[in-house]
Chain A
Amino acid sequence: MSLLTIKNLKARVEEKDILKGFNLTVNPGEVHAIMGPNGSGKSTLASVLAGNPNYEVTDGEVDFDGKDLLEMAPEERAREGLFLAFQYPIEIPGVSNVNFMKSAVAEVRKHRGLEPFDAKEFLAFMKEKKELVELSGSLAGRAVNEGFSGGEKKRNEIFQMAMLNPKLAILDETDSGLDIDALRIVASGVNKLRSKDNAFIIITHYQRLLDYIVPDFVHVLYNGKIVRSGTKELALELEEKGYDWIKEELAEA
């Protein structure tokens, strides 16, 4: 059974239609890359799937692991195993990363019928996940994202992903603003978390990240729809030729 099935999804923000009939099926174990020019609807897709209340779904269905995703509150989606790595992670002064993750992990474990961690177990679990993304101890102890560099914020997203162990992770332009070392760390974290049971949707502007996280499928999103799908070679072709040839082909058709 597929993990995520999106049928004819239409969504708008501030009276403007962005997604105009989006279809996608993701199976466990797969990595899908979604590429496309600016304004094509990539980040809207991520926000809608995570349940951002600023976006309005006007049509379509989304089935997530046998459940109606669009009926769920954002926190239910997270507890059911959907994770969004934010393009712009929010700074939350006064809330420590540790306390934040303690609350989040407790909610998710409760929902999944798992015993809560005791303090010692939690610290050991956190230490293991921190090492995965090479997040230093001092960052983990600080307020969530406050005063973090761009790269540190993105690593913190991947750290949170590792802590919450989602079935489906959506990485929204996680590569933007990363230098090559940070990119490698983030990609290696994702690769270590890949398994036959989980899946990833990687939203990106550039092919660069896909050198490190090799996708099973690449889709081109343009004007609110997927206009072309292929394998990793499609990403290379896009890198080489840009998006204009797709736009031209569509105009001719």
Chain B
Amino acid sequence: MSEIATKSILTELVSGVEGQVASCKLSQESEAFLAETGIPSKRHENWKYTNIKRLFDNGLTVVKSAFSEQTSVLKLTNTISIGLTNDAVTNQLPSIDGVEVFMADDKTELLGSTGIHQKEELAALNTALFQNALVIRVKKGTNLSSTILLDQKVELKDNAFANSRVLIIVEDGATATFLHHFHGTENSDSSLLNHVTEVFVGQNARLELNYIQEIGEGNLMTTTEVECQRDSNFTTNCIQLNGKLLRNNLNIRLKGENIETHLNGFYMLNSTELFDNHTHVDHFEPNCTSNETYRGILAGRSTGVFNGKVFVHPDAQKTNGYQSNNNILLSDEATMNSKPELEIYADDVKCSHGSTTGQLDEEAVFYLRARGLDEFGATALLLTAFAGDVLKAVSNETLRATLEQKIQDKLNSMRA
């Protein structure tokens, strides 16, 4: 494919790309992929309930943001903070023992080596357009006791489009905890932040990757592509609090034996918010466990989507795969679309999945009221407990307490 032809696909999709695209193999591959697929519409099975194409049809313009010094809005202890702009650029590179942190401005490094840019449309667009990537390499055997906070303040005006990119490498035998906090209160509902994180978890390594997503009226698309090597342990917890449209694509590939992975999510929606979680776990090798728990509370006229797939390949005998999605609807006008999926090609596995969507247990509410709690207090207590099953996987105690408070705040806002 000629360079002129491939450039044109980007200019067809978004404005402001001139001079933004480096001519390199990674960009060319991304553009070639995009030229074939375009931006997915609701006719696409993976995008049945979530209309992201509308934002592109409405017009998006690539913006670059300048870095300004910032302090985290979270009050967490035992944390090393890295302040990021819309497109995940920082000049606050901390120095951490056993960890290498840098901005990569070329696309040759390990970036793109998961191949995500040739599998998913928005990740391909990100790969063609991102300017700098934040790379964090936790070196072999390093045991990091602090949480690394990626503190990304999102501020996108009308029709603004930003692409941020992160690469996390946890080398063999290393242990680390990350929190990626997307936050902003001033985002336009016609803007879009398109983020990609690639993750490599080495042999015997352990990684906990937490997300908090709260971007006001804005739209956020995140793609997380994870590769785990044998004997590793990967946990991810995603808490979605506000946004007009939040879409998470999470793909985890278990590429060795004896890997354990936990995928947890908690989402709380109100008004016309739409939050969509798509997860995909590939079991390639024997004796691995994947355990998925996604829970949500939907109020107002909000829409939730959960699509979780566990794919057990022929060699992956003795796989343990568990998946559950539970939702509570607080309003007659809220909608949840839940689709847990198992696809199994090995014959000696233990897998289960389940999905429930219902209302709050009225008998339980009455029981609590009969002990003196008012209706809101009873409801809040039950919903907080419902979230608790997901939050218990968050290891940093101050983070867990912060999340509990944020959930309480959102409940209070729903009361009004």
Interface, chain A (partner B; CB < 8 A): 50-53, 73-75, 77-79, 83-84, 86, 89-90, 92-95, 99-100, 103-104, 107-108, 111, 143, 160, 164
Contacts and interface: CB of A to CB of B under 8 A. Distances in A.
B268 to A, nearest CB: 16
19 contacts: A52-B366, A74-B369, A74-B370, A75-B372, A75-B373, A77-B370, A78-B370, A78-B372, A83-B370, A84-B370, A86-B367, A89-B367, A90-B367, A92-B364, A94-B388, A95-B382, A100-B368, A103-B373, A107-B372
B385 A92 contact: yes
A83 B370 CA distance: 7
Given A92-B364, A94-B389, A104 B382 contact: no
The 7 closest A-B pairs by CB, nearest first: A94-B385, A74-B369, A107-B372, A78-B372, A104-B371, A90-B367, A95-B385
A75 B367 contact: no
Interface centre among B367, B371, B378, B388 (most CB of A within 10 A): B371
A78 B378 CA distance: 13
Nearest to B381: A95
Nearest to A77: B370
B381 A100 contact: yes
Given A74-B369, A100-B381, 17 more contacts: A50-B370, A73-B374, A73-B375, A75-B369, A75-B378, A89-B367, A90-B361, A92-B364, A92-B382, A92-B385, A94-B385, A103-B381, A104-B372, A107-B372, A107-B377, A108-B372, A143-B385
B69 interface: no
Contact of B375 (A75, A95, A100, A108): A75
Contacts of B382: 92, 95
Contacts of B367: 86, 89-90, 92
Contacts of A95: 381-382, 385
A104 B373 contact: yes
Contacts of B386: 94
Interface of B: 361-364, 366-375, 377-378, 381-382, 384-386, 388-389
A100 B363 CA distance: 16
A160 B372 CA distance: 11
B381 to A, nearest CB: 6
Given A103-B377, A107-B377, A90 B364 contact: yes
A104 B371 CA distance: 6
A86 B371 CA distance: 11
A90 B381 contact: no
Contact of A111 (B361, B368, B372, B385): B372
A75 B374 contact: yes
B355 to A, nearest CB: 18
Nearest to B383: A94
Contacts of B371: 78, 100, 104, 160, 164
A53 B375 CA distance: 12
Contacts of A84: 370
Q: Do most interface residues of chain B lie in helix, strand or loop, or is the interface mixed?
A: helix
A164 to B, nearest CB: 7
Contacts of A86: 367, 370
B370 to A, nearest CB: 5
Contacts of A92: 364, 367-368, 382, 385
A95 B361 CA distance: 14
B375 A90 contact: no
Contacts of A93: 385
Contacts of B373: 75, 103-104, 107
Contacts of A75: 369-370, 372-375, 378
Contacts of A50: 370
A93 B375 CA distance: 18
A103 B378 CA distance: 10
A51 B370 contact: yes
A62 to B, nearest CB: 16
Contacts of B377: 103, 107
A37 B194 CA distance: 67
Contacts of B388: 94
A94 B266 CA distance: 15
Contacts of B369: 51, 73-75, 78
Contacts of B362: 53
Contacts of B384: 94
B135 to A, nearest CB: 39
A104 B366 CA distance: 13
Contacts of B385: 92-95, 143
A90 to B, nearest CB: 4
A33 to B, nearest CB: 21
Nearest to B374: A75
A174 to B, nearest CB: 15
B30 to A, nearest CB: 44
Contacts of A164: 371-372
A94 B391 CA distance: 11
Interface centre among B367, B382, B388, B389 (most CB of A within 10 A): B367
Interface centre among A89, A104, A143 (most CB of B within 10 A): A104
Nearest to B392: A94
A50 B388 CA distance: 29
Contacts of B378: 75
A53 B369 CA distance: 11
Contact of B374 (A83, A90, A99, A107): A107
Contacts of B364: 90, 92
Contacts of A89: 367
Interface centre among A90, A108, A160 (most CB of B within 10 A): A90
A224 to B, nearest CB: 22
B382 to A, nearest CB: 7
A1 B81 CA distance: 67
Interface centre among B364, B377, B385, B386 (most CB of A within 10 A): B385
A141 to B, nearest CB: 15
